[in-house]
Amino acid sequence: MTATRRLLQAARTLQREQLAALSATVAVVTDISRCVHALQRERGSSIIYLGSAGSRFGAQRDQRVADSERAQATLEQRLAPWTAPDAGGALPPGLANVRLLLSVAAVWQDLDGLPDLRQRIATQQLSADDTLRAFNQLIGHLLQVIFEAADTASDPDIMRRLVSLFHFIQGKELAGQERACGALGFTLAHFDAPHRNTLETLIGSQRRCFDTFAEFTSPDSLARWQQLQSGPLNDTFEALRELACSGKPLARTLENPGEQWYAVATQRIDAMHEEETRLLDALRECCRQRLQQAERPNAAEGPDALPQALLWASPVALFAQHQQEHAGALSLDTIESRFNRSLVELVQAQNARLQRIGDELESTRQALRERREIERAKGLLMTHQQLSEAQAYRLLRKTAMDQSKPLIEVARNVIQVVEMFEPDA
């Protein structure tokens, strides 16, 4: 056997393994999609329940919780093999991805905390805004798994479909956040400036996600999406959206406006979910066909021939394809296709998210350090001035206010003065 033939056989074997792993990942993505949809509906009903002080949507919320629990059970069953003691060896090579497994670990941790979150909502111990943030975090971690799946794909067609799907699901999640935020404002019968700004941000972010989706999706899917963007349902939704963002007081003649908004927004999101299901079906079929092709090499190819199917989405292959489809001079736009730019944007967005997490962690550490210094300053005042804890704290605050200084700066000054005269303090 020649070296070329051995390399080709190894390449075909690796291709089959990667496609099998992709198929398994798509199955997980399908269950994640269903779980996300159920959690989005639970989030919206929970917001109305809390916004109405528990007087509305109690039964609806209970039903949404039951739906979410069923979707969660299905997803956890799908992921159960990943949590086995020997999961690293049992998983297909393409699934043994560090970032993907870490993302799934974050999801599992959030799912473990759901019962406590639901109990706090049921007893109204959590505000609507805090509830919204908690659900957003969980759904964000679920979407991160889809992002990692798209990031590990190699087959160009599957990769395009995954990127298109990711942007669509991300846009749908932003639409779900808009539904929840709008439900709160309409239930309270007013939208303050922060919530109006949130709505406007969500609307703009949705538009960008769906524009990218439209750029990469199939013509049939694009036609269905454009049809969804027109019609009476969309007109009603846009009218309510404009009312929410206008800053004007809501008319008292509106009957249960929170429920009206929720119903219309839900119809819109349910229609998105139907398209999402079609996209997932098409993705699964694409994986099946690619795997079938990999298992049955073209008989016309000689044993030492380099099959075109093995030329995956490398920059050179993408450049050659672009040159065939659009004849023209070599340029930066030619090499850096719209597809590649989309992936760069995804990576940049993820890096920005990780940076924000790092910044928040550092802020928390700084706050803890400052709190320890303030506690130490209080203890020194209690010891040297014979003050109670409350008196020592009031003295620190009054001094800070009188001198127009931050509390931590006054505390540090106290510590420095004591240490100057009593080095062992």
Q: State the DSSP string of 62-90.
A: HHHHHHHHHHHHHHHHHHGGGGSTTHHHH
pLDDT in tens, 215-266: 888 899 999 999 888 888 888 899 889 988 888 877 666 677 888 898 999 9
Taking residues 357-376, what's their average pLDDT?
Answer: 72
Question: Two tokens at 178?
Answer: 């808009």
Question: Two tokens at 140?
Answer: 């964000």
The confidence score (pLDDT) of residue 150 equals 64
Radius of gyration over alpha carbons of the chain, in Å? 28
Rounded CA separation 299/288 (Å): 20
The confidence score (pLDDT) of residue 257 equals 82
Q: 81-104: buried (b, 16+ CB within 10 Å) or exposed (e) per residue? A: ebeeeeeeeebeebbebeebbebb
Taking residues 159-163, what's their average pLDDT?
Answer: 80
The confidence score (pLDDT) of residue 289 equals 86
Nearest residue to 147 (alpha-carbon basis) of 287, 291, 354: 354
Nearest residue to 115 (alpha-carbon basis) of 57, 41, 65, 59: 65
DSSP single-letter state for residue 404: T
Decide if pLDDT at 165 tops 80.
yes
Taking residues 390-404, what's their average pLDDT?
Answer: 86
When comparing pLDDT for 208 and 326, which is higher? Answer: 208
Residue type at position 27: A
Decide if pLDDT at 206 tops 70.
yes
Decide if pLDDT at 96 tops 70.
no
Inter-axis angle of helices 114-122 and 98-112, nearest 10: 30
Q: 358-366: long-range contacts at Cβ-Cβ below 8 A with a sequence spacing of 24 or more?
A: none
Decide if pLDDT at 414 tops 70.
yes
Inter-axis angle of helices 98-112 and 58-79, nearest 10: 140
The confidence score (pLDDT) of residue 336 equals 37
3-state secondary structure of 312: coil
Q: Is the dihedral of CA 36, 114, 149, 143 positive or negative?
A: positive
Task: Give the burial class of 64: count Cβ atoms within 10 A of its Cβ; 0-12 exposed, 13-18 middle, 19 or more buried.
Answer: buried
When comparing pLDDT for 96 and 49, which is higher? Answer: 49
Taking residues 406-413, what's their average pLDDT?
Answer: 88
Helix spans in 189-231 (H): 193-216, 219-228
Global pTM reads: 0.66
Nearest residue to 225 (alpha-carbon basis) of 168, 146, 177: 168
Report the share of the chain in percent with pLDDT over 70: 76
